[in-house]
Structure 1
């Protein structure tokens, strides 16, 4: 006599429980290295923190750290620089990365070699890349200053002036991160079925129309992923301005990450540094959620169309 097989629902529940059981060690590690620091930072930002011989001592709850942060002009300058840097660098990287991906898609055997060359800037450690570019931008012996002197008969102090220093920072970030965007977009291009392009060609669509009406809508999910990754990375920029300009001249290129570092480690204001971290995380989370909401609305409209 054969046994009765288990219902599909019970099998699915058992598999789900087994999956959670096997994943629980990894989830505990993730919680230990991510969730706990975030919660601890949140507690620090709302507490009176005193540094004593035995460590940190938390006092009564307070909003003083956020009040000091939101009334400090240096916070708004750092936030403005970080927002501007993020918007400009991500936009330029998205445009250049898409153009590079479109070119790579049409290459044959040389695609692998060019991809390897493109990955060199992305593979460099950020501190090393920033240090190399600091030599190039140096006002005394830098190659960029020498080139400007040959062409314009003047040697600018690129890292010593606010606007040129900001532009130099965007150039370095675009140089380093455009290959990442290009590879992500190229992966999306390779997944687009060829019959879609054949249908557009039969309908008599031009190359420009095909790009805007066929290629770009198909790339929206991939572009959304690339933009999200770049927003998270660019908004938390620390090593690039720290190595190139130390946040200068003055505080012109001081990001919110550098501001938090100075408050926390130089001033030893643990509550104020935690308030900077929590506020920055809230802003980034809000921007990402807004971007995802807009992207989802556009995707729904495209699906209905």
Structure 2
């Protein structure tokens, strides 16, 4: 009499790895779920809700909001208003000038910090001070500097005999725009510097040794070694700064409140006044959605231009 012993089938290594990966994937999704819910609640939902608001005529009632579908009426109202196009022009002009100057100054300062070995850490800490200040506090400080009665800038310029009498820097359209740009460049250039310094530290030192052996001068070394290796960091800094510049709100709100007149009225200022002060919720939402579309277009244009420049140099 023979007894047959049943053997338990063994799982193949490939199937075991697949099962392990599936378990890890479920565990990872479970850990990411709380963050995903928060992102949906504070980011995705407001965006979708703003888009819905932009297609409705909204009135405030005693029981809440009354939505009445109006199609593209709000967008037609926005795009037919000259003040909107003035805000678009100012926001685009302001963003292009400030981002270009910040990238240029940030690159110069980053190169200087990279070449100062002993004081590099101290230099980085000093550069972080303007960036670490809250924008409202920074704007208040610049408001005191630009003040037409007791401002520091007037005192310095009069002491140097550059101007004969105190000037109201925030009282004229041209000087107000320039003053706001200077304040923004002062605060946000350190952000660009930190990104570019990090990029410079990632460039292998062997590249510079090879350039030195080949007899390259400082400019040739920068153009053929440093700049190509730093393009990714420049693109990253430029992308972040475009996103921030197109959404500028707190600096003009504190310094000029969009004035004098509408000379420093950004799209964010216009949206805030329309939505929260005038209570035109549908029109304000249309301005916000249009701003998002404009920002995305500007970022795509910047990345496309940067990619084209890289491809031309590679060819």
- TM-score calculated relative to the size of structure 1: 0.95
In 2, are the aligned partners of 1:148 and 1:154 still within 8 Å (CA)?
no
Q: Tell me which of 9, 12, 22 is aligned to 1:4.
A: 12
Match of 2:222 among 211, 226, 229: 211
CA RMSD of aligned residues (A): 1.6
Tell me the secondary structure at the aligned position of residue 14 of structure 2.
coil
User: Which string of whole-angstrom CA distances, capped at 9 and with x for unpartnered residues, describes residues 133-178 of structure 1?
Assistant: 1011001110111222232223221000111110100100011111
- 1:301 Cα shift? 4.7
Provide closer, same or farther for how the CA distance between residues 224 and 9 of structure 1 changes in structure 2, counting only shifts above 3 A.
farther
**Separation of aligned partners in 2, 1:135 and 1:298:** 42
Aligned to 1:225: 236
Q: Does 1:85 align with 2:94?
A: yes
Could you say which residue in structure 2 is the equivalent of 1:20?
29
Shift of 1:107: 1.3
Which secondary structure does the structure 2 equivalent of 1:6 belong to? helix
State the shift of 1:12 in Å: 4.0
Provide Cα deviations, 1:73-92, integer angstroms capped at 9, x if missing partner.
11111111111111111111
Structure 1 position 287 matched with structure 2 position 295: no
- Report the counterpart of residue 112 of structure 1 in structure 2: 121
Larger radius of gyration between Structure 1 and Structure 2:
2
Q: Which moved more, 1:33-42 or 1:209-218?
A: 209-218
Cα deviation, residue 10, structure 1: 5.2
Q: How far off its partner does 1:123 sit?
A: 0.7
Stretches of structure 2 that go unaligned for 5 or more consecutive residues are 1-7
Deviations 1:96-144 (A, max 9, x none): 1111110111112311122111111111110001001101100111011
Count of aligned residue pairs for this structure pair: 304
Matched, 1:255 2:266: yes
TM-score scaled by structure 2?
A: 0.92
Deviation sequence 1:189-234 (CA, Å, 0-9, x none): 0000011111111221111011111111111111111011101111
CA–CA distance in 1 between the matches of 2:308 and 2:20? 37
Q: How many Å separate the matches in 1 of 2:215 and 2:129?
A: 40
8 Å CA contact 1:97–1:182 kept in 2: the answer is: yes
